[in-house]
Amino acid sequence: MIKPHGSETLNPLFVYDQEKHDALLHEAESLPALMLSSAAAANAVMMGAGYFNPLTGYMNAADAISVAERMHTTDGLFWPTPVLNMTNNIEAVKGHKRIALRDPNVEEHPILAVMEVEDTEELTDAEINLIMEKVYRTTDAEHPGVAAFQSAGKYVISGPIQVLNCSYFQQDFPDTFRTAVEIRNEIKERGWKKVAAFQTRNPMHRAHEELCKMAMKAVEADGVIVHMLLGKLKPGDIPAPVRDASIRKMVELYFPPNTVMITGYGFDMLYAGPREAVLHAIFRQNMGATHLIVGRDHAGVGDYYGAFDAQTIFDEEVPEGALEIEIFRADHTAYSKKLNKVVMMRDAPDHAKEDFVLLSGTKVREMLGQGIAPPPEFSRPEVAQILMDYYQSKSK
């Protein structure tokens, strides 16, 4: 099986030993507590689940700036985005070397992790702008990732953590949320050698379905992991339970048995385009995938990134040998009226625009909201029905 990033074996930061877990939880009740931002809580979940291997905790300012500028920590680990615990208020934990981290996303704010504080630093405005410019390629507050980063605070608290739970993800998505450890184990149990990973924060339409099948065929994969984001999204994105139901229906009806693993992970979307695509590659390698499908405008938002910047970054900025996982580069996919099937548009140079069934996301949402099913060339009818039910329930 493919090695994790940065180490020979996967080292999740979740405390599995029940005795140690209980002792830490008991200790944490008497420790000074910090309420995490949603982004910092998501980082803790990803470290706990093994997706952010080999990180042992939150980065300090020097590592964050080094990662932003050159995609390496100060000690040389390849990493594309800062993994930070940022806050506006340090009064409750100031001067303390050991603190409890509380979950902002769960009622009563349970303890998410225990942290050994190595440093507390205040980022300057110039440093914050530098990080945003390098990671998001913009400082525009209209960018949802930039807005979240700007609101997180100026103080960076760094140090190793021990994770005690996976926030709301296990409880809210018991059939879908999986740690990197669990996915590796299931890959092994299934006997899969080559595994393609498909990232999604949206329901899957015909083009996505066919893209997974194309990738599996091209790389001769034994299976594909549909790995959906279960954390915070931007307003207007479809909620995770609706996405989950529509994806499960599509896989049940339109994929061969035992070729798809439907899973999800707990993270807040960064919308960082190319940098986030590289982060996606790292945590897919950590969960055991050998290939990551990177499509048009992967992890993008608005017009902040070029259509294929998330592919070219692997050629232009990721050093040779930095990652073991391979990238399957996908073009825009659409249904060809000429060929009566979904194709990558680059593979149909003889087609004009009118030869494809092309619908914008806005148009599809309008149709669904009006109870009109998109054409079957665009969306499977059973998937469309689930989405129509959701949009119509919203309008009541």
Q: Which are the catalytic amino acids? A: 201-202
Q: Which helix (DSSP H) or strand (DSSP E) does residue 12 occupy?
A: none
Q: What is the CA 372 to chain-centroid distance, rounded?
A: 31
Who's near 130: CB < 8 A, 6+ residues apart? 65, 68, 69
Say if CB 80 and CB 183 are below 8 A apart.
no
Say if CB 216 and CB 224 are below 8 A apart.
yes
Beta-strand (E) ranges in 169-278?
195-200, 223-229, 260-265
CA-wise closest residue to 203 among 174, 235, 242, 172 = 242
DSSP label of 180:
H
Q: What is the CA 261 to chain-centroid distance, rounded?
A: 16
Q: What one-letter code names the amino acid at 88?
A: N
| Residue 269 backbone dihedrals phi, psi, to 5 degrees | -60, 135
Say if CB 270 and CB 276 are below 8 A apart.
yes
Beta-strand (E) ranges in 12-97?
33-35, 57-58, 86-87
**Between helices 61-70 and 125-135, what is the axis angle to 10°?**
40
Q: What one-letter code names the amino acid at 314?
A: F
Q: What is the CA 301 to chain-centroid distance, rounded?
A: 14
DSSP label of 101:
E
